[in-house]
């Protein structure tokens, strides 16, 4: 079985469970009415991979949908995901305002499952945007080759760049503004507090971590002071307009019709959405921390320890008072997360090493001598 390695990303076990549950074929069909999905997923010591055949099959199916329905099919997916995001946001915001110190075991589990279900819906978007990008790569480059064969790389980059700012860019803009104020000798303590409140969640990837401290923000700002801050901020301000202008010129040069222009519009939305969906997973998980902290207190764990349990194990700890301390200890030393359809497994210790030896042995190029 051939796996395709995608990215190395530090995610907790619970986060992995939450964001992969919706991408299996059964759920994709139910939630998106789309008959492609990914029944298999693994993250072995942060290294994320999918089965190559499932990727190829998904690429084929998505291309068939596009050839029959055009960009409308791709837009329908984005529209459904936006509804799922709104649902997760509503639930997470509700959780963020509640006190979970005196709540029944049953209510605690009910709240956890409600959050998990909301994640299930939007987790249908975990890998699908990457499949859409593969389709975009083929369609857009084919069009450019037809009219401007010597400009494929340059024009492709322009047509697949989104002018919409993601959260990381918004955070950078805020940092630049504070650095400019500090350079002018103005007080920014209030600005730093506001910045942390608005963007601190960015530092909590995969459920791990905590918001930046004020000291950390000041350190980052001080490291920026030697730069031409105003120029950088101006570049950000002008970026969106430049992307729009360049896109308009390229579309004109390759004689794009309405159908192709619609395809470019939706492609740019997917390029933005690929980052946005991960921001959604992280931000609303952070907002739900009052629930996670309430659970951790109930089962005598700290928050960091909770991230190493599956949701069903959390339920067992709450209802049956099952002790998972040794399980957590083993997983903190290193774990592998494997999903096969609805079944999730965590590998640790010798079992993890055996899996790595049998399934992840590096191919050695015998032509390389050093």
Task: Give the full edge-to-edge strand order of the sheet including 343-347.
Answer: 3-8, 47-51, 40-44, 336-340, 343-347
User: Average pLDDT for residues 321-328, to the nearest whole number?
Assistant: 97
In which band, very low, low, confident or very high, does the pLDDT at 269 lie, cut at 50, 70 and 90? very high
Instruction: Write out pLDDT tens, residues 280-320.
Output: 999 999 999 999 999 999 999 999 999 999 999 999 999 99
Q: Domain check: are 236 and 282 in the same one?
A: no
Structural domain includes residue 370: no
Closest by CA to 276, choosing from 136, 168, 159, 131, is 168
> 95 and 171 share a domain?
no
Tell me the CA distances in angstroms from 47 to 55, 155, 223, one per residue in order.
17, 32, 31
121 in Cβ contact with 22 (< 8 Å): yes
Same-domain pairing of 218 and 329 = no
Pull the structure tokens for residue 55. 């990727």
120 and 9 fall within a common domain = yes
Across the chain, mean pLDDT equals: 94
User: Does 231 reside within a domain?
Assistant: yes
In a shared domain, residues 105 and 33: yes
Verify that 282 and 181 share a domain, yes or no.
no
Q: Specify if 175 maps to a domain.
A: yes
Is 37 among the domain residues? yes
Residue finishing a domain among 200, 229, 245: 245
Mean pLDDT of 173-178: 98
Which of 245, 269, 287 represents a domain boundary (last residue)?
245
End-to-end Cα spacing for the chain: 30
Asked if residue 19 and residue 94 are part of one domain, the reply reads yes
| 7 & 122 share domain | yes
Q: Residues 192-236: pLDDT tens digits?
A: 999 999 999 999 999 999 999 999 999 999 999 999 999 999 999
pLDDT band of residue 362 (cuts 50, 70, 90) is low
Residue 149 in any domain: the answer is: no
Task: Please tell me whether residues 13 and 119 are part of one structural domain.
Answer: yes
Between residues 47 and 364, the one the model is more confident about: 47
Tell me whether residue 111 is in a domain.
Answer: yes
Co-location of 18 and 78 in the same domain? yes
Q: Are residues 7 and 114 in the same domain?
A: yes
Same domain, 180 and 235: yes
CA–CA separation, 11 and 45 (whole Å): 9
Phi/psi for 344 (5° steps) reads -120, 140
Alpha-carbon gap, residue 324 to 317, rounded angstroms = 7
Has residue 315 been placed in a domain? yes
In contact, 268 and 160? CB cutoff 8 Å: yes
Q: Is residue 97 a contact partner of residue 293, using CB atoms and an 8 Å limit?
A: no
Kindly provide the b/e burial profile for residues 139-175, where b requires at least 16 CB atoms within 10 angstroms of the residue's own CB. bbbebbeeeeeeeeeebbebbbbbeeebbeeebbebb
Q: Evaluate whether residue 271 is within a structural domain.
A: no
- Which tops the pLDDT comparison, 42 or 365? 42
Last residue within a domain, chosen from 223, 245, 267: 245
Count of domains in the chain?
Answer: 2
Q: Any idea what the Cα angle at residue 131 is, between residues 126 and 133, rounded to 5°?
A: 110
Longest dimension (CA), the chain: 67
Give the rounded percent of residues in the chain with a pLDDT score beyond 70. 97
- Note down the domain range covering 235: 167-245
- Band (pLDDT 50/70/90 cuts) for residue 239 is very high
């Amino acid at each position: 079985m051939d796996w395709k390695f995608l990215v190395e990303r530090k995610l907790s076990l619970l986060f992995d469970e939450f964001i992969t549950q919706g991408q299996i074929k059964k759920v994709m069909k139910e939630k998106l009415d789309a008959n492609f999905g990914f029944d298999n997923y693994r993250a072995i010591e942060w290294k994320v991979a999918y089965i190559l055949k499932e990727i190829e099959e998904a690429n084929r199916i998505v291309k068939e949908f596009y050839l029959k329905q055009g960009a409308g099919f791709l837009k329908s997916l984005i529209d459904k995901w936006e509804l799922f995001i709104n649902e997760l946001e509503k639930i997470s915001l509700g959780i963020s305002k509640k006190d979970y110190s005196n709540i029944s075991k049953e209510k605690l589990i009910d709240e956890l499952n409600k959050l998990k279900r909301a994640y299930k819906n939007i987790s249908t978007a975990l890998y699908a945007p990457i499949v859409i990008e593969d389709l975009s790569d083929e369609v857009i480059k084919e069009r450019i080759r037809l009219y401007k064969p010597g400009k494929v790389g340059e024009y492709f980059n322009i047509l697949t760049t989104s002018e919409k700012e993601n959260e990381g860019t918004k955070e950078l803009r805020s940092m630049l503004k504070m650095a400019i104020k500090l350079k002018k000798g103005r007080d920014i303590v209030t600005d730093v507090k506001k910045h942390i409140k608005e963007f601190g969640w960015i530092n909590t990837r995969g459920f791990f971590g905590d918001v930046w401290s004020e000291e950390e923000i000041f350190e980052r700002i001080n490291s920026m002071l030697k730069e031409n801050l105003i120029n950088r901020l101006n570049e950000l301000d002008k970026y969106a307009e430049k992307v729009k202008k360049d896109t308009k010129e390229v579309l004109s040069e390759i004689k794009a019709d309405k159908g192709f222009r619609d395809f470019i519009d939706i492609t740019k939305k997917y390029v933005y959405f690929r980052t946005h969906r991960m921001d959604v997973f992280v931000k609303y998980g952070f907002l739900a921390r009052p629930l996670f902290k309430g659970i951790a207190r109930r089962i005598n764990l700290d928050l960091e320890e909770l991230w190493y349990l599956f949701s069903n194990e959390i339920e067992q700890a709450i209802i049956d008072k099952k002790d998972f301390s040794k399980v957590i200890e083993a997983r903190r030393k290193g774990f592998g997360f494997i999903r096969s359809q609805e079944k999730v497994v965590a590998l640790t210790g010798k079992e993890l090493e055996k899996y790595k030896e049998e399934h992840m042995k590096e191919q050695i190029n015998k032509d390389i001598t050093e």
